[in-house]
Structure 1
């Protein structure tokens, strides 16, 4: 797992991480219990955030498909 703070990820970076990891919103819903497509949509639009625990789970899911440097670059630059 990378050293990125899930609370420091911008809405745009959340979307880029999801796409870079190869997930659509429905796929995330199938992978993580308690997270729905609507949650992902609101997180990525900046209209609402998820709990810290759910953001960490989401970041861990994406990080399994990406290298730590990729995650850090997306979060840092977006």
Structure 2
């Protein structure tokens, strides 16, 4: 099993991003309210695979979602989706 701290945000699939957000209890607009430089449209494009965010923004998103989940939950989503 991969340690959550060693997960590379660039390796996550669009589905994994969506599942992490949902599992963490965030709607797209809620993420926009939590993070100043990320818009709902960015989340939508990341989750559809039509656009990649900068590595810094993806890392920030991963940290936001992981704060609401156990390390095991994060790892399971990343490894299986």
- Structure 2 unmatched ranges of 5 or more: none
Q: What value does the CA root-mean-square deviation take over the aligned residues?
A: 0.9
Task: Return the match for 2:56 from 32, 53, 58.
Answer: 53
| TM-score between the two structures when normalised by the length of structure 1 | 0.96
| TM-score between the two structures when normalised by the length of structure 2 | 0.93
The equivalences for 1:1-78 within 5 A come to: 2-78=5-81
- Structure 1 unmatched ranges of 5 or more: none
Aligned residues: 78
Contact 1:21 1:65 (C-alpha < 8 Å) held by counterparts? yes
